[in-house]
């Protein structure tokens, strides 16, 4: 039971970070001028990706260990749900990120602002992934087999 609680707590931290990106960081970034916005995004995107990747890996690992010893498949469901952040990031957000990295930071451009808005909308997928994993873990914690 203890390992499952840790998996849930780490998934909740992932969810909190994703919500912070959507409600606080990205809206504040959009208030900047285009060149400052792109520079700020470039600096924070790398650190944010490392944070979310680490949290998802730790949460999934704990969930898989708990399933191994507890035998409840709901932990695998939650672990796989939070691991979907990796392909989601690679196939959905990285293409937009590549285009954003190609924008010269000193240039004020409308396409960069549109790409940044698109990136912000797509980043809400992290929140959905976190909610799904937390829901599966909460279900497994609340109704043990």
Query: pLDDT by residue (tens digit) across 43-62?
Result: 899 899 999 999 999 999 99
**pLDDT > 70? residue 102:** yes
> Rounded CA gap, 76 and 60, in Å?
8
| Confidence at 21, pLDDT banded by 50, 70, 90 | very high
**pLDDT > 90? residue 120:** yes
Q: Is the dihedral of CA 129, 132, 136, 141 positive or negative?
A: positive
Structure tokens at 76: 């695998």
With a CB cutoff of 8 Å and minimum separation 6, the contacts of 16 are none
Question: Domain residue spans in the chain?
Answer: 2-142
> Rounded CA gap, 134 and 107, in Å?
41
Supply the pLDDT for residue 1.
58
**pLDDT > 70? residue 105:** no
**pLDDT > 80? residue 127:** yes
- Per-residue pLDDT averaged across 3-11, rounded? 95
């Amino acid at each position: 039971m203890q390992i499952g609680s840790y998996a849930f707590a780490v998934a909740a931290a992932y969810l909190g970070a994703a919500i912070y990106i959507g409600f606080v960081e990205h809206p504040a970034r959009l208030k900047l001028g285009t060149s400052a916005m792109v520079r700020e995004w470039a600096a924070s995107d790398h650190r944010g990706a490392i944070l979310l990747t680490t949290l998802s890996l730790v949460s999934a690992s704990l969930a898989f260990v708990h399933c191994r010893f507890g035998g409840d498949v709901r932990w695998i469901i939650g672990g796989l749900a939070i691991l979907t952040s990796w392909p989601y990031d690679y196939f959905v957000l990285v293409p937009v990120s590549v285009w954003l990295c190609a924008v010269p930071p000193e240039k004020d451009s409308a396409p960069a602002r549109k790409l940044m808005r698109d990136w912000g909308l797509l980043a809400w997928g992290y929140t959905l992934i976190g909610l799904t994993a937390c829901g599966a873990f909460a279900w497994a914690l609340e109704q043990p087999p």
